[in-house]
Structure 1
């Protein structure tokens, strides 16, 4: 069964993560939950173990590609508004042929229980892929920071040259954000809860055993045990959505930097496998960074959708719950694709130190205006005016006669050397690397 985006998933890096988010993956997760629920009933002694094994076998068979007609299932889902209803009927018919009572399938559950648990399984499976790519991207950025901790480059603010910095420090800003996002995602994935509340969240159909069954179901699925059913408490979904939004944002920052730095005019970095153009043979496009950025830019609206659908009324929402299924899977697809493409971009990123040095020099020392003004102020109260006049006229600071009146040629040369005005750049790189979980690598 193809993913939702067979044409564009490869472009935006979502091929691997989409395997866990396809229609087939949804059906598999739904059946996994139904099988686990039957097993949970057996675990607490409320169902025959052989019957539950038969349910698990039937569910596994139906989960296989071609095990059922997904197109027909989708059409049958329209009447009830979700695929659980026809899927349960199908599963009961299958096991009924072996003498398994219908009561063993879907006992005490409501459709939302199965859908929410399946979404948690999909999230954990797809989220593991997202986390791996996010970590790979962070590791690559940390490697760049380590190698280039003292490589001078221009620090740009508001699109203009500001002061000298190092490429290592810029790369540190990349991996620290990626690490923070990865930690947050890891926490969310490890705390995804089971959902089991029955028709109205009271587990009335399973009283007095409902709580034990809910806990057994959580254990069967490897999900966190619920405190209470969260049918209309959607903080879990909101936390997941916002975390994926943060992941996308953390990815978008370095992707944006790389895209700009790879421009012809700057030429400070280049991807190891740049893309070409159908019309312009000379183009060396940073396609991985560009597509990472594109995928990431689609996530804020989806996060907003998840947050705006938190107001589930009473014990079951009419619409807001249904709006979550594709929203969350799309978020996983896009955040995962963005993380993957960034990891591709950063792995083997070529750093052109000679271009960085050239760009530091194009203002004729004006990038060190702050430093020259400070040194000049020890000799004259007109220091700022003198440096401003030189900058306005386009005169190189090391050739300005007004500055030379107060400072020697040797002093000026030292003052306008970018490598001598990096502040704590290297210290900050070292601190950021040391703060990583394994002291510099994950």
Structure 2
């Protein structure tokens, strides 16, 4: 049963890896193509400072590569199981070696300890150091890499779900799903399926981790509790990886909407940069006081930050044009994207 479980897992992880590779390639193209596409960075649901869509896509790709590396390592380490009833290989032991009248043992192996390795090689699995009837590291490793993969893809899906909201509309799935009651809707179906898988995976993995506490040389219940959640995890992650590949290959991005949204806060999205640049000119305390006041006025009067600062006597001789352009305030986003894309 353990060997069969490892064989099933190894086969199921092959298409997962293939789909992760598809997603990684699609995200690399998005990151490179939008290296300098400015958009609002959001923290705690609010506009924070400008970032780029390229850096966001590079972050998604980094998670996909992390998942790929973990799945690859675990898949290559999945072991065969051959230990006999209690993990001693007793059934394979030849008794009375050299005595022609002695029984050779049930299977007559000259060196029982060599059997697990030969068995593993025959099946294309790893050779275990010991029989692992109650040493469930292989199952725990599977639980970990699968739950991580679901979560990594879930992060991508969560961002797409946010960006595709009607009132944001900075990105959209290539082909959304229809609504049973509202003909105008194009629901983000793939992102929804991935997000659902990511929410289920941790609890399934928790059951597998719980099975590490296995008593005796073969437990009652702990072993048997592994089969269904592992099957569900493999199915969920396989589906999520497929959906993520299709999602990223067809994702539509709207740079013009992102650029428009950079102005939603009347220019205040660059206040952090302004604070840093004005502190040497006005002094830290005065710069903070000034920006706090103009931020209040920008909201209450519905006026642009640049317009208000231009009226400030302290800044009459200061050229703020570059500092007020959000597209020029993305920090090292481009360089970080380039660095991320070097990873293979």
Normalised to the residue count of structure 1, the TM-score between the two structures is: 0.71
Deviation at 1:379, TM superposition (A): 3.2
Deviation at 1:244, TM superposition (A): 0.4
Tell me whether 1:274 sits opposite 2:176 in the alignment.
Answer: yes
Q: Do the aligned partners of residues 410 and 361 (structure 1) sit closer, same or farther apart at CA in structure 2, a change above 3 Å counting?
A: farther
User: What stretches of structure 2 of length at least 5 have no aligned partner?
Assistant: 95-108
Tell me whether 1:399 sits opposite 2:307 in the alignment.
Answer: yes
State whether residues 309 and 315 of structure 2, in contact with CA within 8 Å, keep that contact through their aligned partners in structure 1. no
Q: Which residue of 1 aligns with 2:330?
A: 422
- Give, in whole Å, the separation in 1 of the partners of 2:27 and 2:316: 41
Q: Which residue of 2 aligns with 1:149?
A: 35
Tell me whether 1:169 sits opposite 2:55 in the alignment.
Answer: yes
Q: Secondary structure at the match of 1:241?
A: helix
Tell me the alpha carbon deviations over residues 180-208 of structure 1, each in whole angstroms, 9 at most, x when there is no partner.
Answer: 11011001001100100111111111114
Q: Which residue of 2 aligns with 1:413?
A: 321
Tell me whether 1:313 sits opposite 2:199 in the alignment.
Answer: no
Moved more, 408-417 or 247-256: 408-417
Deviation at 1:360, TM superposition (A): 0.6
- Give, in whole Å, the separation in 2 of the partners of 1:151 and 1:143: 13
> Which among 268, 276, 294 is matched to residue 390 of structure 1?
294
Deviation at 1:375, TM superposition (A): 2.8
- Give, in whole Å, the separation in 1 of the partners of 2:279 and 2:121: 71
Q: Which residue of 2 aligns with 1:303?
A: 205
Tell me whether 1:432 sits opposite 2:344 in the alignment.
Answer: no
> Which among 80, 84, 89 is matched to residue 198 of structure 1?
84
Of structures 1 and 2, the one scoring higher in RCO (CA 8 A, sep 6+) is: 2
Q: Which residue of 2 aligns with 1:336?
A: 238
- Give, in whole Å, the separation in 1 of the partners of 2:56 and 2:62: 10
- Give, in whole Å, the separation in 2 of the partners of 1:177 and 1:258: 15
- Give, in whole Å, the separation in 2 of the partners of 1:423 and 1:267: 24
Q: Do the aligned partners of residues 274 and 187 (structure 1) sit closer, same or farther apart at CA in structure 2, a change above 3 Å counting?
A: same
Q: Which residue of 2 aligns with 1:77?
A: none
Tell me the alpha carbon deviations over residues 16-39 of structure 1, each in whole angstroms, 9 at most, x when there is no partner.
Answer: xxxxxxxxxxxxxxxxxxxxxxxx
> Which among 200, 207, 210 is matched to residue 93 of structure 2?
207
Deviation at 1:408, TM superposition (A): 4.8
Tell me whether 1:345 sits opposite 2:247 in the alignment.
Answer: yes
> Which among 26, 29, 46 is matched to residue 140 of structure 1?
26
State whether residues 288 and 345 of structure 1, in contact with CA within 8 Å, keep that contact through their aligned partners in structure 2. yes
Q: Do the aligned partners of residues 122 and 408 (structure 1) sit closer, same or farther apart at CA in structure 2, a change above 3 Å counting?
A: farther
State whether residues 294 and 309 of structure 2, in contact with CA within 8 Å, keep that contact through their aligned partners in structure 1. no
Q: Which residue of 1 aligns with 2:149?
A: 247
Q: Do the aligned partners of residues 197 and 403 (structure 1) sit closer, same or farther apart at CA in structure 2, a change above 3 Å counting?
A: farther
State whether residues 178 and 251 of structure 1, in contact with CA within 8 Å, keep that contact through their aligned partners in structure 2. yes
- Give, in whole Å, the separation in 2 of the partners of 1:333 and 1:401: 57
Q: Which residue of 2 aligns with 1:50?
A: none
State whether residues 386 and 403 of structure 1, in contact with CA within 8 Å, keep that contact through their aligned partners in structure 2. no
Tell me the alpha carbon deviations over residues 43-81 of structure 1, each in whole angstroms, 9 at most, x when there is no partner.
Answer: xxxxxxxxxxxxxxxxxxxxxxxxxxxxxxxxxxxxxxx
Q: Do the aligned partners of residues 229 and 416 (structure 1) sit closer, same or farther apart at CA in structure 2, a change above 3 Å counting?
A: same
> Which among 107, 119, 127 is matched to residue 13 of structure 2?
127
Deviation at 1:392, TM superposition (A): 2.1
State whether residues 28 and 341 of structure 2, in contact with CA within 8 Å, keep that contact through their aligned partners in structure 1. yes
User: What stretches of structure 1 of length at least 5 have no aligned partner?
Assistant: 1-114, 437-442
- Give, in whole Å, the separation in 2 of the partners of 1:238 and 1:220: 24
Which residues in structure 2 correspond to 1:214-229 (within 5 Å)?
214-229=116-131
Deviation at 1:409, TM superposition (A): 8.8
Q: Which residue of 2 aligns with 1:359?
A: 261
Q: Which runs of 4+ in 1 moved over 3 A?
A: 401-404
Q: Do the aligned partners of residues 420 and 409 (structure 1) sit closer, same or farther apart at CA in structure 2, a change above 3 Å counting?
A: farther
Q: Do the aligned partners of residues 329 and 399 (structure 1) sit closer, same or farther apart at CA in structure 2, a change above 3 Å counting?
A: same
Normalised to the residue count of structure 2, the TM-score between the two structures is: 0.90
State whether residues 54 and 334 of structure 2, in contact with CA within 8 Å, keep that contact through their aligned partners in structure 1. yes
State whether residues 134 and 178 of structure 1, in contact with CA within 8 Å, keep that contact through their aligned partners in structure 2. yes
Q: Secondary structure at the match of 1:164?
A: strand
Query: CA RMSD of the aligned region, Å?
Result: 1.5
State whether residues 379 and 406 of structure 1, in contact with CA within 8 Å, keep that contact through their aligned partners in structure 2. no
Count residues with an aligned counterpart.
322
